[in-house]
Structure 1
Amino acid sequence: MKSRSEEFEEWGTEVIFGRAKGFRATMMRMVLRGASWLFRLVVLARLYLFHSSIARQARLGTLVVSVGNITVGGTGKTPVVELLARTLTQRGRKVAILTRGYKSADLDEPQEWKDEHGGRVEQLPKIASDGKTRYLGPLHSGDEPFMLAKNLDGVAVLVDKNRIKSGIFAIEHLGCDTLLLDDGMQYLKLAHELDIVLVDCGAPFGTGAMLPRGTLREPRGSLARASYIILTKCGGKPQDELIAAIRKYNPVADIIVSDHGPKYLENVFTGERLPLEALRGKWVACLSGIARPESFEDSLRSLGANVEICRRFPDHHWFEQSELQEFYDRCADRAMDMIVTTEKDAVRLEKPEEDPEVPIYFLRIEVEIYEGREAWERCVDRICGISAPRPRDEWAPSSSF
C-alpha cells in the first residue's frame, strides 16, 4: 500500500507535468507557480554567495568530479556514473563515489572502521562498499548506491549528505585519488574541478519551470558551469537543434551525445540472462518506481514486446510484499509471458517464499557514446592526468567558484 506521502507525491507529479485535471489541480499549479519564483530567488542568491566567495568551498587536496544535472530525475545519471567510474578504475585511478543515498534508511547500528593504527574512526559516512566488500543492502544504502556498489569492483561507494565527510574518509582511509560526486552539481560546499552535466534529449529543460511548479533545479544559464555536457537518451538521432540551444548558455564545453542502450534481460532472482530478442512478440508486464516510467516502457515496446500491463510507483518506492504479490497474481491471471522491471527497481524486490508464476527480469542498460567519443576520451585523459592527492596540511578553503 502507498503511504499518504507517496500518494501526495504521485499526485504532485501529475500536477507538475500537467496530467492532473480539475479545479484542485489548477489551483495547486497557481500556488506552485508563485513558489517557483521564490525558489528561483533563493537559488540565485545561493549561487551569488558562492560566486562572490562569501560562502566558502572546501578543497580536499584531490580531484573532485561532479556528475549532475539542472533538472530533477530521469536523465539517466547512474549509468553514466557507472561508466565513468569503471573507465577511470581501468585507467589506474582509485575512485570513490560520494552519494547522498536518497530515501535510504538510517542504520540500525553504527558501522565501525579501524584506521591503520587500529584506532576506531569517528564520524563515519555509511560505507556501502570499500571497493572490495559490500557492507550495506539497498535499504540502508539506497537503491542507486547499492546498484553501483554491486556493479563496480574496485570502486568505493560512500553514502552521506555531508560529501566533505565522505571525501575525507575516502582519501584518508581508503586511499582514493578521485572523488565522483553523484548528483553533485548543486553540492557547492565542496569545490568541483570538473562539472559533467547531463541533459535528457527527451526533456532537456524539464517542464521549463523551476521547482516546485516545474522540474528545473537551477535556471538554464547554470549550464555555463559545465566542463562537459552529456546529452542522454538520444535514441540514435542527431541532436543539432538541442546542441544549438545549449550553446546559448555554454559556448565552450565539449558536448557528448549518448544513448542508454539495452543489453540483455536478467532474472531478478536466479541470475539467468536472456538476449533482447526474447522480448519480441512476448506479452509483458512492466513494474517500475522511477522518475520517468514512460521512457522505460517505450524502450520495451521498441524491442518488440507487447506491453499489456504497466504498474507504476513513485521514484525510489520501497515495495511491500503484499502489493507485489497482488501484481504477480494479476500478471498470472492475464497470462503474461514475463514481468520486466528496471535494474534500479530490481534491487528493491525481495524474493517471495514461492517462485512467482510469471518470471521477473530486469532490463540491463548501459551508456553508449553516439557522438563525441574523442571528447569523452579527452575528459578521461584530463582526469587521469591529475596528480596524486596533496597532504591534508596543504588543504585550504577555496576562494573561487
Structure 2
Amino acid sequence: MKKVIEALERFAIEVISERRWGHRATLLRWFLGFLSILYSWGVSFRLWLYQKGLCKSHPLGCLVISVGNLTVGGTGKTPIVEKLARDLTGAGRRVAILSRGYKSRRPPFFQRLKEKLQGRPSDPPRVVSDGRHVLLDSELAGDEPYMLARNLPNVVVLVSPDRVLSGKYAIRHFDVDTLVLDDGFQYLPLKERLDLVLIDTESPFGNGKLLPRGMLREPPKALQRADVLFLTKCEGNDLSALKAQLRRLNPHAPFVECVHRPRYLEEVFTGIRRPLEFLQGLKVGAVSGIARPESFENGLRRLGATLVYSRRFEDHHRFTPAEIQRVLERSRARLAKAVITTEKDAVRIPALPVRPPLPLYFLRVEIEFLRGAEELERRLQRAIQGPGRSQIQRTEEAKNPNATAVVSLS
C-alpha cells in the first residue's frame, strides 16, 4: 500500500511540474487547476478573517521570529533556522524553536490517554530537546526538528501544530525569551513577530500556480507581509529582474542574499568526517528523499564527484534497511566508492543488519550570508529592544542596564 501511495504522489508531482504528459495527466492537471481556484478562495477568506479580527491572533510577550516561504519545500529553511538560533543563543538569548513536525508520528494512543488522565493538555507539545538532551527520535519528532535538536545543544525544540500553545509552553517551562518559528509564514494565529521569508532565486514561484496545481501556498502578493526577504542560491545569479519584481510586491523589506555552502562529509554510521576535496574525481551514488533532489545531485557534481547512480524517494520518505542496502549494492556494481545523502535524509536512515558494502556519507551544508546581513542585524536588534520584550528580559535589564544582547550574524 505504501508503494502505491508513493507512486501516486510521484505521478502527481510529475504532472504538477509538467514533466508528465498524456490524457490522464491532462485530465489531472485540469482537475487540480479547479481545486487550486477553491484553494485560492480559502486562502483569501482565511486571511480576511484574521485581518478583520474574526479569528484571533495572540501575542506571546517575547521576541518571535518566523522563518517561512511561499512555496512547498526546497528553499532551505532549516539551515537558516539553525544559524539564527545559534547566533541568538551566542548573543545571550534563551531560544526555543517551534516546529509543526511535518510527517512526524503521533505518540501511541495509550500514552496520550495517560497524559489526559493526568490532567495534562490533550495534545501537549512534544519536547524534542529540552536544551540539554535530545529526547525524541526523528520518527516522533520529524526530520527537521530532530536535526535541529541534534545540532543545537543549548536550544529547546518543540513540536506541535499549535504554535501558540507550544510558545506558551516554552516560556512557562523553559524560561525562554526568544521563539523561532520553523515554517511559520502562513501561521496567522501568532502576531507581533518578525517575518523572514525565503525566496529560491532559481525557482521563486514554481510554475506560478497555487496548490494543488502548483507549488505556491499563497499568491505572490502575500509577500507584502514579509519584514525581510531572504534570497537563497544567489551565487553567480543575476538578481536584478527578480529584485525588481519583489520590490513591486514589497517596497519596504530589505534583501538578504545568501547561499547554502557545503562544509564537509560525515559518515552516517561512524561519524567519521572527510573534507570536500574527498569528492574530487570520486565515483559516487546518491540517495535522497527531499523536495528537489536534482539540486542536491547537481551540487555533488559541482563539488567534483562523478555521479554513477542515483535513487530518488518521495519527500520525507522513511527508509528501510533493505532499501539502503540495495542503493549501496547497486552503487558498488557501478564502481562507486561511496554513497552520499543529505543531512535531512541521514536522520531517517536506519542501522543496517550487515556491514555496508560502501561508506555512506551525508553532506553537511550551512548558510552563508553574502549581502544584507547588517540590515538583518539591525532589524533583529530593533525587535529585541522593542515592545515585544518578555517580562523576564525587562526584569534582567532593570538589574543590569548594560545586559542587552547584541546579535552578530557571523
| In structure 2, C-alpha distance between the alignment counterparts of 1:383 and 1:342, rounded to whole Å | 34
Cα pair 1:66 1:192 within 8 Å, conserved: no
Quick check: 1:141 aligned with 2:130? no
Query: Superposition RMSD on alpha carbons, in Å?
Result: 2.0
Cα pair 1:258 1:370 within 8 Å, conserved: yes
Superposition map of 1:210-359 within 5 A: 210-359=210-359
Counterpart for residue 196 of structure 1: 196
| In structure 2, C-alpha distance between the alignment counterparts of 1:306 and 1:27, rounded to whole Å | 39
- Judging by fraction of residues, say which structure has more helix: 2
Q: How far did residue 192 of structure 1 move?
A: 4.1
Quick check: 1:66 aligned with 2:59? no
Residue identity opposite 1:71 in structure 2: T
Shift of the 381–157 alpha-carbon distance from structure 1 to 2, 3 Å rule, reads same
Counterpart for residue 399 of structure 1: none
Counterpart for residue 16 of structure 1: 16
| In structure 1, C-alpha distance between the alignment counterparts of 2:146 and 2:349, rounded to whole Å | 13
Counterpart for residue 179 of structure 2: 179
| In structure 1, C-alpha distance between the alignment counterparts of 2:23 and 2:120, rounded to whole Å | 55
| In structure 2, C-alpha distance between the alignment counterparts of 1:299 and 1:40, rounded to whole Å | 35
Shift of the 384–153 alpha-carbon distance from structure 1 to 2, 3 Å rule, reads farther
Q: How far did residue 120 of structure 1 move?
A: 7.7
Quick check: 1:98 aligned with 2:120? no
| In structure 2, C-alpha distance between the alignment counterparts of 1:376 and 1:61, rounded to whole Å | 21
Cα pair 1:341 1:361 within 8 Å, conserved: yes
CA deviations over 1:53-86 (Å, ceiling 9, x no partner)? 1211112222221110111110100001001111
Residue identity opposite 1:133 in structure 2: H
Cα pair 1:236 1:370 within 8 Å, conserved: no
Residue 355 of structure 2 aligns to a residue in which SS?
Answer: coil
CA deviations over 1:12-60 (Å, ceiling 9, x no partner)? 1111000112110111001111111111111111111111212111122
Q: How far did residue 3 of structure 1 move?
A: 2.8
| In structure 1, C-alpha distance between the alignment counterparts of 2:173 and 2:13, rounded to whole Å | 41
Cα pair 1:340 1:360 within 8 Å, conserved: yes
Residue identity opposite 1:55 in structure 2: C
Quick check: 1:79 aligned with 2:114? no
Counterpart for residue 43 of structure 1: 43
CA deviations over 1:322-380 (Å, ceiling 9, x no partner)? 22222221112222111000000000011212221111000000001111121222233
Counterpart for residue 398 of structure 2: none
Q: How far did residue 2 of structure 1 move?
A: 4.7
Quick check: 1:389 aligned with 2:390? yes
Cα pair 1:111 1:126 within 8 Å, conserved: no
Cα pair 2:288 2:342 within 8 Å, conserved: yes
Q: How far did residue 381 of structure 1 move?
A: 2.0
Q: Which moved more, 1:277-286 or 1:330-339?
A: 330-339
Residue 340 of structure 1 aligns to a residue in which SS?
Answer: strand
Counterpart for residue 398 of structure 1: none
Cα pair 2:309 2:330 within 8 Å, conserved: no
> How many residues align structurally?
387
Q: How far did residue 147 of structure 1 move?
A: 0.2
Counterpart for residue 154 of structure 2: 154
Cα pair 2:98 2:158 within 8 Å, conserved: yes
| In structure 2, C-alpha distance between the alignment counterparts of 1:235 and 1:339, rounded to whole Å | 26
Residue 3 of structure 1 aligns to a residue in which SS?
Answer: helix
Residue identity opposite 1:312 in structure 2: R
Cα pair 1:91 1:384 within 8 Å, conserved: no
Cα pair 2:309 2:334 within 8 Å, conserved: no
Residue 339 of structure 2 aligns to a residue in which SS?
Answer: strand
Residue identity opposite 2:390 in structure 1: P
Cα pair 2:229 2:256 within 8 Å, conserved: yes
Residue identity opposite 2:79 in structure 1: P
Q: How far did residue 320 of structure 1 move?
A: 1.4
CA deviations over 1:83-104 (Å, ceiling 9, x no partner)? 1111111111111111111111
Cα pair 1:236 1:259 within 8 Å, conserved: no
Percentage of matched positions with identical amino acids: 48
Counterpart for residue 369 of structure 1: 369
Residue identity opposite 1:328 in structure 2: L
Q: How far did residue 121 of structure 1 move?
A: 5.1
Task: Mark the runs of 5 or more structure 2 residues left unpaired by the alignment.
Answer: 393-410
Q: How far did residue 189 of structure 1 move?
A: 1.2
Q: How far did residue 179 of structure 1 move?
A: 1.0
Instruction: Pick 1 or 2: higher relative contact order, CA cutoff 8 A, min separation 6.
Output: 1
Residue identity opposite 2:167 in structure 1: G
Task: Mark the runs of 5 or more structure 1 residues left unpaired by the alignment.
Answer: 392-401
CA deviations over 1:263-311 (Å, ceiling 9, x no partner)? 0111111111111111010111110000001110011000111011110
| In structure 1, C-alpha distance between the alignment counterparts of 2:119 and 2:61, rounded to whole Å | 24
| In structure 1, C-alpha distance between the alignment counterparts of 2:119 and 2:42, rounded to whole Å | 40
Shift of the 167–102 alpha-carbon distance from structure 1 to 2, 3 Å rule, reads same
Residue 60 of structure 2 aligns to a residue in which SS?
Answer: coil
Residue 235 of structure 1 aligns to a residue in which SS?
Answer: coil
Q: How far did residue 200 of structure 1 move?
A: 0.5
Using structure 2 for the length normalisation, give the TM-score: 0.91
